[in-house]
Structures are given as structure tokens and as C-alpha cells.
């Protein structure tokens, strides 16, 4: 049960607080599969744009008198100035420090007073904040959220301890975790020019220097109604939600500094890259490989869906090519799998990973993974496995309707990375349409080693290792 899912993927979305396990589970569900069509639970999804540029998406779901209110700013770690890595995430933390109108803690208290949940998250392409509250509290949280879109007030007394918090967060997520260190190195090597190569949490030496002025500067540049999208899922009608949005967000002025995002793009990858990270704490070596592939936003028609199906049949579940080939049949790995994360404004990644059995070397494991890929490229995929993968991906879309928060997150993430509501609703149709030829073509075209970085994580046994770590 989930043993084969010991992925090496560093979460590229990080949360403000890690204690809400339910939220982590929701995120896992949301990352597990992409968008979906409207089903019975969700009524018709409505999409509006206010005069000041703010986009509003409403996903009616009347099963319980509850709403999930999310605001998505179309700015993330990929939009940071060079030398200021970690700033988007740092600002996300600081957004809880109060405004001129509502001192620190007031918003959180209002949410918690009604039993609501709240959290925030940062990724490369977006920064989000959300509350789950009883429906009658929707206007209140919209007022608070609209207020902190422009009213944030920061002083060094609150900024500096919070910088220590994000440094501890970096300790916890990365420095204490050899696998996360490896992923950081692989990403940095994969992206030669695009800011996706920086960690969302930041490089530590730059995080240590982030200041109040950095945070306020970033905030004033990027946070405004024309750079934001509000997604409301729950017990509310679209027109009523629109009225509330007009009364709250609608009063804010457009920010002229917000312009379409244009990041430095990757040159065509030409070299097979590999790296080794040695860490004294490694008791189970692993390898992971990331390929530079199209995202749902940059792909040609059908390509992203083919990659989705390809990653699924290569590496999700006990009958996937990698698990069955390496773990069950050849006995060279204790775990192996694959993933594709297509929700990116610019290029995306497709990843493979494996942990060797004792007595098997990483190069032997890598050769076995290569042979699985080579076979898919040469011989394609069977109709049965194609059907299985599609069935599962489409079912995930139905299952997602069971969770209001997953729905809101799904729409938000897709819309923040270039999709439209129409794209999301027709996603199951596009998955259904994927052919075996498209999957084979995707493997041939994109799983070219020159597009990839392979990372080995091994135990550092040198005498200095103890001191270094």
C-alpha cells in the first residue's frame, strides 16, 4: 500500500504551516492527477472578471453549508529577482502579520472563531491563501483578504523572527533530509537558464539576507487585483459570489506594475547530465531522473495528456512498467516509479526514481530503468495498460468531486498556470482520446536522456563526512 510511491519528488508547493495533515492529504490528491470535468457534485462552474482585472471562479457545491475561499496571486518563486531566492515564500509568511485596518492575528482569529481552517502556499508560478468557513462567513473572509491585498504593514520586529522561521523551515524540509537535498540539486542542474532551477524555499545564503524592504517591494509590485484570481467552491450561487466580490475586491485599484510573466527560457538541452550527492545519513541509496518536458501550457495539443498517461503507466501502482519490471520481475529495486507534473506556466518535468535492493549498484539500477524506457520507445504500450491508465486518471477526476477543497485547488492551480475553465472541464475527454501511438511518440520525443539530469544519492563514508554534514 503505497510502498512503491516512495517518490523523490520534492514538493514544489510549500505550505505556511505543516500541522494540518488533512491539507497535506488534499494537496497530495490534487497533485496526483490534473484537472477534471464538472460532475454531479459541482454545478456549472462560473468564471467572471471584475473591472479591476480580478478573476473570479465559482464552483457551486451544495452538499454542506460550507465554502472554500482561495485567492491565487499569479506570482511565485520564478518571479523573484536574482539574488532574492525565497522571497515569494517569505512574503507569504509575512502576509499573516496584519494590516493598517486589522492588526496581526485578527484575521486568523476570525477564521478560527467559526471553526474555519486557513493556510497558504507558494510555488513557482503562484502564491495562494485560503480559508474554509461556514458559507455565511464568506463575505467576512473576502473583506479580510481584500484588505490584505493592499494594506499589509511590516516592521523589523515582526519580519526578523519570521525570517528565522523560514530558515527553520528550510532546515526541516531540506537540510535535515538527504532526498530533498538531492532533488534540489537535480532541479538546479536541469534548468540551465529558467528560474525553476531555484528552490521555492530559497537558497539559504540568500534567505538569510531577505529584508523587510525586499518583502514590501515584492508585495507592492506583484499583489493587486489584476494579478489575482479568487476561486470559491461551495454552498454559494455564482451571482451571489459575484456580488460579494464586487463589494470587497471590486473596490481595489488595478496595479500598473503587474504585467504578463515572461521568464528567461531554457535553451534546447544537449547534454546528458548526471550528479552524485554523498551524505553521511544515507542508509538507502536512490536515484532520480528528471526530464525537461512540455507543461499543459506549453504543449502542443494532446501532448501533455500523452505525457500524463505515459508517466502513469510507467510508474504509478504495482502493475506499472517500472514497479513490475524492476521490483517484481528483475528484483533489482525495492521501489520505483514515475511522475509528471504538467501544471507549470513554462516547461515541466517528468521524473523517474528507484531505490536499489541491497547488492545492486545504482548504475545497474539505472541501466534497468533505461531498458524499461527503451522498450516503451521501441515497442509502445499495450491496449490494456493504456486503458488502465486512462480509467484511473479519469476516475481521479470523479473522486476529486468528493472534496470541495480539492476542486478549488485544482481549478486554481490550472488557471494560475495558463489553463482556462474550458480546458479543465474537457480534460477527461482529452485523456480519453490519447492513443497508444501518442504515448509512444511522447516517450520517443521527450524521454531522451539529453533532456535529463540523473542524480544519485549515496552514503558519504569519508572520514570528514561527520564534520561536514
Partner 1 sequence: MTRLVACLAFALLAFFAVAPAALAMTIEKIVSPSGIQAWLVREHAVPLVALNFAFHGGSSQDDADKAGAANLATDLLDEGAGEFDGKAYHERLENHAIDLRFRVGRDYFRGSLRTLNEHRDEAFDLLNLALTKPRFEADAVERVRGQELAGLRRETTNPNNLASRSWWSTAFPGHPYGRESKGTLETVPLITADDLRDYVRRVFARNELTVSIVGDIDAETAGKLIDRAFAGLPKKNDLKPVAAASPSNLGRRIVIDVNVPQAVVTFGGQGIARHDPDFMAAYIVNHILGGGSFSSRLYKEVREKRGLAYGVSDHLVWFRRAAVVIGGTATRGDRTADALKVIEHEIKRMAESGPIADELNEAKAFIKGSYALSLDTSGKIAAQLTQIQIDDLGIDYIQRRNGLIDGVTIADAKRVAKRLYSGGLLVTIAGRPKGLTSSTVHE
Within positions 329 to 388, which residues make up the interface with partner 1, using CB under 8 A? 331, 334-335, 355, 357-358, 387-388
Q: Where are the beta strands (DSSP E) in 201-319?
A: 228-234, 273-279, 286-293
Judged by beta carbon, residue 176 or residue 265, the one nearer partner 1 is: 176
Nearer to partner 1, 242 or 286 (CB): 286
Query: E strands, 307-421, where?
Result: 333-341, 348-356
Q: Which of residues 70-99 bind partner 1 (CB under 8 A)?
A: 96
Set of cell numbers at residue 88: 515569494
Catalytic residue, chosen from 92, 118, 162, 305, is 92
Site string for partner 1, 171-210 (x = CB under 8 A): xx--xx----------------------------------
**What CA–CA distance (Å, rounded) separates 462 from 179?**
19
Q: Is residue 251 within the footprint of partner 1 (CB under 8 A)?
A: no
Any residues with CB less than 8 A from the CB of 189 and at least 6 apart, and which? 197, 273, 275, 453, 455
Nearer to partner 1, 103 or 105 (CB): 105
CB of 334 to partner 1, least distance (A): 4
Q: Is 168 in the site for partner 1 (CB under 8 A)?
A: yes
Among candidates 206, 133, 132, which has minimal Cα distance to 166? 206
3-class secondary structure per residue, 85-151: CCHHHHHHHHCCCEECCCECCHHHHHHHHCCCEEEEEECCCCEEEEEEEEHHHHHHHHHHHHHHHHC
The verdict on whether 92 is a catalytic residue reads yes
Question: What does the DSSP 8-state code read for residue 40?
Answer: S
Which of 164, 213, 237, 437 touches partner 1 (CB under 8 A)?
Answer: 164
Separation of first and last alpha carbons in the chain: 33
d(CA 307, CA 361): 29
| Contact yes or no for 36/427 (Cβ under 8 A) | yes
- Interface pattern 129-148 for partner 1 (x via CB under 8 A): ---xxx--------------
Using CB under 8 A, which residues numbered 28 to 67 contact partner 1?
A: 39-41, 61, 63-66
- Please name every residue paired with 70 in a beta bridge, in sequence order, or none if there are none: 130, 231
Nearer to partner 1, 301 or 358 (CB): 358
Sign of the C-alpha dihedral, residues 188, 71, 162, 133? negative
Residue 155 found at the interface with partner 1 (CB under 8 A):
no
Residues 97-116 close enough to bind partner 1 by CB under 8 A = 105, 108-109, 112-116
Strand arrangement, sheet containing 117-122: 14-15, 117-122, 127-134, 66-73, 228-234, 55-60, 46-49
Does 432 sit near partner 1 (CB under 8 A)? no
Among 28, 100, 160, 271, binds partner 1 (CB under 8 A): 160
**Given 79, 80, 125, 162, the residue binding partner 1 (CB under 8 A):** 162
User: Quick one: 225 or 356, whose CB is closer to partner 1?
Assistant: 356
Q: What is the DSSP string of 210-230?
A: --HHHHHHHHHHH-SGGGEEE
- Decide: is 278 part of the binding site for partner 1 (CB under 8 A): no
Q: Which of 263, 392, 444, 449 binds partner 1 (CB under 8 A)?
A: 392
Region of 161-169, 251-259, 289-297, 447-455 interacting with partner 1 (CB under 8 A):
161-169
Which 290-319 positions form the footprint of partner 1 (CB under 8 A)? Answer: 317-319
Residues designated catalytic: 92
Amino acid at each position: 500500500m503505497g510502498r512503491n510511491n516512495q517518490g523523490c519528488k520534492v514538493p514544489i508547493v510549500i505550505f505556511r504551516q505543516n500541522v494540518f495533515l488533512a491539507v497535506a492529504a488534499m494537496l497530495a490528491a490534487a497533485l496526483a492527477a490534473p484537472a477534471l470535468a464538472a460532475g454531479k457534485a459541482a454545478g456549472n462552474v462560473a468564471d467572471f472578471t471584475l473591472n479591476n482585472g480580478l478573476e473570479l471562479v465559482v464552483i457551486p457545491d451544495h452538499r454542506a453549508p460550507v465554502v472554500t475561499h482561495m485567492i491565487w496571486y499569479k506570482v511565485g518563486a520564478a518571479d523573484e529577482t536574482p539574488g532574492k531566492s525565497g522571497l515569494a515564500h517569505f512574503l507569504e509568511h509575512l502576509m499573516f502579520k496584519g494590516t493598517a485596518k486589522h492588526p496581526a492575528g485578527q484575521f486568523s482569529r476570525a477564521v478560527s472563531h467559526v471553526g474555519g481552517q486557513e493556510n497558504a502556499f507558494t510555488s513557482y508560478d503562484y502564491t495562494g491563501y485560503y480559508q474554509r468557513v461556514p458559507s455565511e462567513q464568506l463575505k467576512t473572509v473576502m473583506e479580510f483578504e481584500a484588505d490584505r491585498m493592499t494594506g499589509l504593514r511590516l516592521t523589523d520586529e515582526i519580519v526578523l523572527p519570521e525570517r528565522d522561521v523560514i530558515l527553520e523551515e528550510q532546515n526541516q524540509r531540506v537540510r535535515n533530509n538527504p532526498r530533498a537535498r538531492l532533488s534540489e540539486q537535480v532541479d538546479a542542474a536541469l534548468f540551465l537558464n529558467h528560474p525553476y532551477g531555484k528552490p521555492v524555499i530559497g537558497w539559504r545564503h540568500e534567505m538569510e539576507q531577505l529584508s523587510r524592504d525586499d518583502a514590501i517591494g515584492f508585495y507592492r509590485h506583484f499583489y493587486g487585483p489584476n494579478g489575482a484570481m479568487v476561486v470559491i467552491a461551495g454552498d454559494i450561487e455564482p451571482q451571489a459570489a459575484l456580488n460579494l466580490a464586487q463589494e470587497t475586491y471590486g473596490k481595489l485599484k488595478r496595479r500598473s506594475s503587474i504585467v504578463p510573466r515572461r521568464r528567461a527560457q531554457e535553451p534546447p538541452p544537449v547534454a546528458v547530465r548526471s550528479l552524485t550527492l554523498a551524505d553521511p545519513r544515507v542508509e538507502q541509496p536512490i536515484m532520480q531522473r528528471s526530464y525537461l518536458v512540455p507543461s499543459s501550457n506549453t504543449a502542443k495539443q494532446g501532448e501533455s495528456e500523452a505525457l500524463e498517461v505515459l508517466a502513469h503507466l510507467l510508474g504509478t501502482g504495482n502493475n506499472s512498467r517500472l514497479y513490475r519490471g524492476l521490483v517484481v520481475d528483475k528484483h533489482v529495486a525495492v521501489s520505483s516509479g514515475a511522475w509528471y507534473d504538467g501544471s507549470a506556466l513554462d516547461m515541466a518535468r517528468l521524473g523517474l526514481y528507484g531505490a536499489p535492493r541491497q547488492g545492486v549498484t545504482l548504475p545497474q539500477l539505472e541501466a534497468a530503468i533505461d531498458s524499461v524506457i527503451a522498450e516503451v520507445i521501441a515497442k509502445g504500450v499495450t491496449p490494456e495498460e493504456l486503458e488502465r491508465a486512462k480509467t484511473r486518471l479519469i476516475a481521479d477526476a470523479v473522486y476529486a468531486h468528493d472534496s470541495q477543497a480539492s476542486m478549488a485547488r485544482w481549478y486554481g492551480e490550472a488557471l494560475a498556470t495558463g489553463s482556462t475553465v474550458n480546458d479543465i472541464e474537457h480534460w477527461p475527454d482529452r485523456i480519453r482520446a490519447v492513443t497508444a501511438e501518442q504515448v509512444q511518440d511522447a516517450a520517443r520525443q521527450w524521454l531522451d536522456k539529453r533532456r535529463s539530469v540523473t542524480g544519485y544519492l549515496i552514503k558519504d563514508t569519508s572520514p570528514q563526512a561527520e564534520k561536514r554534514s
